[in-house]
Amino acid sequence: MSEMTNDSLTGSARMEKIVALCKRRGFVFPASEIYGGINGFWDYGPLGAQLKNNLRDAWWRDMVEAPPIGPDGHPLSIVGLDSSIVQNPKAWIASGHVGGFSDPMIDCRESKARYRADHLMVLRPKEQGEYLALFAFLEGEPEPALKRAKKVLRLSVHLADFETHLLSELNEEERSKVYGPDAAKAGTLTEPREFNLMFKTYVGATSSEDNVAYLRPETAQGIFLNYKNVLDTSRVRVPFGIAQVGKAFRNEVTPRNYIFRSREFEQMEMEWFCAPDEAASWFEFWSKTRLEWWKSLGVAEENLRLRKHDQDELAHYSREGEGTYDVEYRYPFTAPDFGELEGVAHRGDFDLTQHQEHSKTKLQYFDPETRERFMPHVIEPASGLTRGVLAILCESYFVDPERPSPEIMRFPSRLAPIKAGVFPLVNKDGMPEIAEKLYLELRTKFPTQFDVKQAIGKRYARMDEAGTPFCFTIDGETTTEQTVTVRDRDTGSQERIAIDSVSAFLSERVG
Ligand code: GAP
């Protein structure tokens, strides 16, 4: 058995391999591919849809059905919700999204391309020649800027010959000397302008401003809008949580890094309503609990970290003294650095107060024990379901150079789209019939695949790429000894077990 590795390939080379496997094996496809695709939108194929559902179900199970144990040793109280994507537009004015949910954007007058201002960096020559020339690039992608620099400076330059700066650090004079990432001339980048990320639509037959509505940019607001309904109809008492999984839409200026930043994506969010004086300790509790959850799924500790936002990174709903932790993952395109996987925000009473004011509906909580009224504060663990799928794909991608088909998706068994493969060794001597019978039995409990096509080695390789933890093969001995071969995806090793113990074997290992 050979040593498997998931770090022999790094950065963009590793990412390219993962993207290619995901396409080839039906995890993720570009949306509308036959029409040339549409930037920032993705479709999840048979394996991807199942993987995403499994991650969603794991979150729902651990958040709503069996919530964590609280600091007092008792289970927390969290209920589920499924709210509408389109809400009354007044809700988005109150939440601050219509006025403030924007990113600074820069246009290029020459190429007509648009960039997020805070993602633009520049290369500045360490030794300036007769004229100053600076070369802009999108964070993490300096190669095109280096190529442009070689052309403009007519020198064989290397990255080490440049300093890197944020575009926003330059003065006006310097900005006029910047070559945009896709431009042949200098000085074509505009000043930054705020660009609202909300997708607008019209409700009803006429498309007038009176009928404007928005696709939700976060699932969270649906929770705030239903906070009173939930309080009035269920037995929850503060502190408690409301959880929701669903689509969110943002007209991102520069969707990139595969499914990391897309324009349509899914979130798994939970709003934890608590007494104001307890909010700070719940903030710490949820930050740590969420980091541990990603570890419990099988994400390696060294690829995860908790990072507190600097004051200038905070969203419009966070005020001084409040804040946000990010659970970050080391994606191949951020490595050796980390990128956001989940945010845990202290939202204070911002949202409920805003909705109370704008809707004229009392949203204060009445504590039946102290007989006091107060506006709960909110701690929000907000993760991306689709971004989580990306982290799981990156984490699970391994290469075993000694296998004929070296690529293996080592999904944690809880998340694996297919839990077992069942094969007849050859398509004769009664083997297909026994294999089909076993398959029919297993599929009542586990997502199982039955495969009779091609040589057994190819069938194992197909299951390795799909990330199936175990394969069971019916062979000549099955008919005489009532045993089957079990092959382990990660080690490639095989053992024989009784055919009537297969189901118990799987239950023990994949749950
Ligand atoms: N309700 C708070 C909120 O929406 P956020 O940090 O903007 O906070 C939460 O989003 C999570 O949603 C992020 O940590 C990320 O995992 C995911 N997310 C945000 N924007 C995304 C995008 N454009 N594409 C994919 N996932 C995204």
Residue 103: HSE in the Cβ half-sphere, 13 Å Cα cutoff: 18
Interatomic CA distance for residues 359 and 478, integer angstroms: 69
Residue at 215: amino acid letter? L
pTM of the complete model: 0.91
CATH 3.30.470.10 fits 11-101+199-352+378-395, yes or no: no
| DSSP at 117 | G
Give per-residue pLDDT as tens, 26-38.
999 999 999 999 9
Q: Is 360 left (phi over 0), alpha (psi -120 to 50) or beta?
A: left
Chain Cα centroid distance, residue 182: 28
Per-residue pLDDT, averaged over 401-415, amounts to 94
Asked if residue 148 lies in contact with residue 179, where contact means CB atoms within 8 angstroms, the answer is yes
Domain chopping of the chain, boundaries: 11-101+199-352+378-395, 105-194, 418-510
CB distance 383 to ligand 1 below 6 Å: yes
Asked if residue 159 lies in contact with residue 146, where contact means CB atoms within 8 angstroms, the answer is yes
pLDDT bracket for residue 235 (50, 70, 90): confident
Asked if residue 253 lies in contact with residue 103, where contact means CB atoms within 8 angstroms, the answer is yes
CB distance 339 to ligand 1 below 6 Å: no
pLDDT at residue 264 greater than cutoff 90: yes
Per-residue pLDDT, averaged over 369-389, amounts to 97
Q: Which fold has domain 418-510?
A: Rossmann fold (3.40.50)
Asked if residue 451 lies in contact with residue 462, where contact means CB atoms within 8 angstroms, the answer is yes
Asked if residue 389 lies in contact with residue 48, where contact means CB atoms within 8 angstroms, the answer is yes
In this prediction, residue 7 carries a pLDDT of 58
Per-residue pLDDT, averaged over 390-401, amounts to 96
CB distance 382 to ligand 1 below 6 Å: yes
CB distance 386 to ligand 1 below 6 Å: yes
CB distance 387 to ligand 1 below 6 Å: yes
Cβ neighbourhood burial of 505 (10 Å; 0-12, 13-18, 19+): middle
Q: Which two tokens stand for residue 323?
A: 């804040």
Interatomic CA distance for residues 40 and 340, integer angstroms: 18
Matching CATH topology for 11-101+199-352+378-395 and 418-510? no
CB distance 220 to ligand 1 below 6 Å: yes
Q: Which of 50, 79, 27, 55 is nearest to 383 (CA)?
A: 55
Give per-residue pLDDT as tens, 112-158.
999 999 999 999 999 877 788 999 999 888 999 999 999 998 888 88
Q: How many A from CA of 113 to the centre of ligand 1?
A: 24
The phi, psi pair for 297, rounded to 5°, reads -75, -15
pLDDT at residue 5 greater than cutoff 80: no
CB distance 266 to ligand 1 below 6 Å: no
pLDDT at residue 252 greater than cutoff 70: yes
> Which of 340, 344, 347 is the best mutation target for the ligand 1 pocket, counting ligand atoms within 8 Å of the beta carbon and taking the most?
340
| DSSP at 128 | -
Q: How many A from CA of 97 to the centre of ligand 1?
A: 14
